[in-house]
């Protein structure tokens, strides 16, 4: 164990499950035709693709049959699905969109682009705990908005947001509500219909599925404006040849989660709590962001007093502990965390915070060894400083 690297960056991506790999290999071997082709092999590929699409939607709690059936639009991942939602649901120029101040960069960046395209964009603030107060949305919705976008669970702190209440408020004011559920899928139970949202973004590689596939789930009757053109696939809403094997991989990963959901959630939470407890005993002044509220079971964002996050991150990498300074999309950036800034954290906390995140395969021995290495690296860095 001492010489092996310990991976505690599952919020960035997770290792693909062997069952997922096997299902994809079988699919590549059996369904190699273009699912849009009209010959028999094409029809067979199409049938397998639609079976996977239906299974994914069902696992996520969507309505899959009858006149009220929801739509599942397959994409290349969470970033594309979030962009499709923001641009496709925000209405014409002049419309108003509200996004929370703790969104992932692919939502925040899309909202910034909207503002450059003559849309009005407002930020929904977040409290010190990392949770949005729904009454703040009530205040913002005194003017009409076309779209509200609030993530289900934060990618940095793991803080869960009160989506059903937020969705109800948005609908009272005749606004559409979109949620980025990328980090929550495969970690906590999710039911699309029970959340009450109009659109939900998911991806496969955060829950031991393949990289390169995500989806946007749309409630029945919601109208989406496409961002890509030139094909009739997926009702013209996201043209391009679908990858059947990736869809099967996503289906398999979600079905594995459904079978093991209660055990996985409990196990990851116990390991996370054990990890935090070990560090809190040995590191005086250590702070756990969003500790007082409901969090994802695998996420731990910690402020280490007296050290600089980038230097500590590099020291841990050398010690064989893989973690993160924030979102994987911005991990190469030295900019402070947008989430911690929005929460009103002190500069010293922001500058010393690292994110640790567990996967379904993380073991207790790894957690214990990682904590030992982190404590040693921290004390060494403090002594050198």
106 is catalytic: no
Dihedral angle computed from the Cα positions of residues 298, 301, 305 and 307, in that order, rounded to the nearest 10 degrees: 100
Question: Within its chain, how far is the Cα of 55 from the centroid?
Answer: 20
Please, are residues 188 and 206 in contact by the beta-carbon 8 Å criterion? no
Q: Which residues contact 332 (CB under 8 A, 6 or more apart)?
A: none
Helix (H) or strand (E) holding 97: strand 96-100
d(CA 308, CA 300): 18
**Four-residue CA torsion sign, 290, 291, 294, 300:** positive
The one catalytic residue among 27, 207, 323, 329: 329
Q: Quick one: DSSP state of residue 205?
A: G
Phi, psi of 65 (to 5 degrees): -135, 160
Structure tokens given for 295: 């969090």
Radius of gyration over every alpha carbon of the chain, rounded to an integer in angstroms: 21
Taking the C-alpha atoms of residue 182 and residue 190, their distance in angstroms, rounded to an integer, is: 11
CA 369/CA 14 separation, integer angstroms: 20
Catalytic residues, by residue number, are: 329
């Amino acid at each position: 164990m001492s010489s092996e690297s310990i991976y505690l960056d599952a919020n960035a991506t997770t290792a693909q499950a062997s069952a997922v790999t096997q299902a994809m290999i079988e699919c590549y071997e059996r369904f190699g035709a273009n699912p849009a082709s009209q010959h028999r092999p094409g029809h067979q590929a199409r049938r397998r693709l639609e079976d996977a699409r239906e299974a994914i939607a069902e696992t996520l709690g969507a309505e899959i049959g009858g006149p009220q059936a929801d739509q599942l639009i397959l994409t290349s991942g969470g970033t594309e699905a979030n962009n499709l939602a923001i641009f496709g649901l925000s209405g014409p120029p002049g419309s108003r969109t509200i996004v929370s101040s703790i969104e992932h960069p692919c939502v925040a960046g899309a909202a910034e682009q909207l503002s450059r395209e003559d849309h009005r964009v407002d930020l929904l603030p977040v409290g010190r705990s990392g949770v949005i107060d729904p009454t703040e949305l009530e205040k913002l919705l005194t003017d009409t908005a076309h779209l509200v976008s609030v993530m289900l669970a934060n990618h940095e702190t793991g803080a869960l947001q009160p989506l059903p209440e937020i969705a109800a408020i948005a609908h009272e004011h005749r606004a559409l509500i979109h949620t980025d559920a990328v980090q929550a899928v495969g970690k906590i139970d999710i039911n699309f219909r029970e959340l009450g949202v109009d659109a939900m973004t998911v991806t496969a590689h955060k829950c031991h599925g393949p990289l390169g596939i995500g989806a946007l789930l749309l409630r029945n009757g919601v109208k989406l404006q496409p961002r890509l053109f030139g094909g009739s696939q997926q009702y013209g809403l996201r043209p391009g040849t679908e990858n059947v094997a990736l869809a099967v991989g996503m289906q398999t990963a979600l079905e594995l989660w459904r079978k093991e959901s209660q055990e996985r959630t409990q196990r990851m939470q116990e390991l996370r709590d054990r990890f935090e407890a070990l560090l809190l005993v040995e590191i005086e002044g250590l702070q756990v962001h969003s500790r007082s509220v409901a969090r994802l079971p695998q996420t731990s964002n910690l402020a280490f007093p007296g050290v600089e996050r980038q230097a500590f991150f590099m020291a841990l990498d050398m010690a064989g502990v893989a973690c993160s300074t924030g979102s994987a999309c911005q991990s190469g950036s030295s900019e402070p965390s947008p989430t911690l800034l929005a929460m009103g954290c002190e500069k010293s906390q922001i500058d010393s915070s690292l994110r640790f995140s567990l996967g379904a395969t993380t073991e207790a021995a790894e957690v214990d060894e990682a904590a030992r290495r982190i404590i040693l690296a921290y004390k060494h860095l403090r002594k050198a400083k």
